[in-house]
C-alpha cells in the first residue's frame, strides 16, 4: 500500500560532502551534518509486485559522484534505467545527457537548466526496451555538482498527497484514479507515468507556468511517476 500523507522520511542519501534527506514530499533537504558513506534506505511498505517490477528495470549498486565543470560519468553495470539525484551550485548552464553504448547521445536530456539546481529525475524509461543500452551521463556544468545514481526501486513511494519544488520521482502502487495538480512556477510543468511497457503510460499533465487542473491518473500500475517542475507543486489523488 502507499504511504499515508505526512509520513516520515523514507530515504537518506549521501553524496560526497553533501547530505540530502529525501522525504515523501519529493523535495531534497540538505542535512546539517555530512556523512562519510552512501546510505539508501529502501521503502519497506511497497507491494512486492511494485518493488519487483522496479527492480526488473535495473537492479544495481547505488553510485555517488561529485566534481566541478564538464565530465562524463560512467553508469554502473546493469544500470539501463534509474533515478538521478543531482545538485548544481553554479550560475551558468547545467545539463545531464544520457550517452548510449555507442558513445552517442541517446536523445534523452534529463536536465537542462541554468543556475542552481537540485532535484530527482528518471532516465531509461523514455526509450524502447530494444534501444541501445545506456552507458554514461554527460554532465555540463559551470560549477560544483554532485550526483547519486540509484535504481528505480529506491524511488520514494507516492502517497495520496505529495508536494515539492522542482523535479521529483515516485513509485506508485495504488489504483487508477483522478489526479489533481497545482503548479506555481513560471516555466515547464509535467507529470508523466511510466508503466510496465517501459514507455510513458501517459502525460498526465504538460503545461507552462502557473497551473491548476485534473486528469485521469495511471491506467496501469505499478508505475514510476516523474514530476518536471520549475516551482512549487502539489499532487493529490482523488
Number of domains in the chain: 2
Q: Is residue 31 part of a domain?
A: no
State the CATH number of the domain containing residue 198: 2.60.120.380
> What span, in angstroms and rounded, lies between the C-alpha atoms of 71 and 175?
41
**Domain co-membership, 202 together with 107:** no
**Domain co-membership, 70 together with 147:** yes
Closest to 14 measured CA to CA, from 62, 54, 58, 77: 62
Per-residue pLDDT of the chain (238 residues; tens, 9 = 90+): 333 333 222 232 322 222 333 344 443 444 433 333 333 444 444 467 788 888 888 889 999 999 999 999 999 988 889 999 999 999 999 999 999 888 888 888 999 999 999 999 999 887 655 556 789 999 999 999 999 999 999 999 888 899 999 999 999 888 888 889 999 988 889 898 888 655 555 566 788 888 898 888 777 778 899 999 989 999 998 7
Q: What is the pTM of this model?
A: 0.77
Q: Is residue 28 part of a domain?
A: no
237 within 8 A of 179, measured Cβ to Cβ = yes
**Domain co-membership, 60 together with 150:** yes
Strands 156-157 and 168-172: parallel
Amino acid at each position: 500500500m502507499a504511504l499515508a500523507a505526512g509520513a516520515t522520511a523514507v530515504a537518506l542519501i549521501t553524496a560526497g560532502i553533501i547530505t540530502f534527506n529525501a522525504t515523501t514530499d519529493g523535495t531534497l533537504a540538505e542535512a546539517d551534518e555530512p556523512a562519510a558513506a552512501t546510505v539508501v534506505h529502501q521503502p519497506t511498505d511497497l507491494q512486492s509486485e511494485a518493488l519487483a517490477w522496479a527492480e526488473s528495470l535495473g537492479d544495481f549498486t547505488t553510485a555517488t559522484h561529485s566534481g566541478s565543470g564538464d565530465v562524463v560519468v560512467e553508469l554502473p553495470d546493469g544500470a539501463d534505467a534509474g533515478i538521478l539525484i543531482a545538485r548544481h551550485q553554479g550560475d551558468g548552464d547545467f545539463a545531464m545527457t544520457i550517452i548510449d553504448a555507442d558513445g552517442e547521445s541517446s536523445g534523452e536530456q534529463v536536465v537542462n537548466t541554468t543556475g542552481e539546481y537540485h532535484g530527482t529525475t528518471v532516465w531509461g524509461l523514455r526509450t524502447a526496451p530494444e534501444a541501445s543500452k545506456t552507458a554514461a551521463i554527460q554532465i555540463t556544468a559551470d560549477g560544483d555538482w554532485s550526483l547519486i545514481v540509484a535504481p528505480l526501486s529506491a524511488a520514494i513511494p507516492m502517497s495520496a498527497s505529495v508536494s515539492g519544488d522542482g523535479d521529483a520521482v515516485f513509485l506508485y502502487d495504488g489504483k487508477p484514479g483522478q489526479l489533481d495538480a497545482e503548479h506555481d512556477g513560471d516555466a515547464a510543468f509535467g507529470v508523466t507515468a511510466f508503466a510496465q511497457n517501459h514507455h510513458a503510460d501517459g502525460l498526465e499533465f504538460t503545461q507552462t507556468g502557473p497551473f491548476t487542473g485534473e486528469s485521469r491518473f495511471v491506467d496501469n500500475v505499478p508505475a514510476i511517476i516523474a514530476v518536471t517542475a520549475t516551482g512549487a507543486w502539489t499532487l493529490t489523488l482523488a
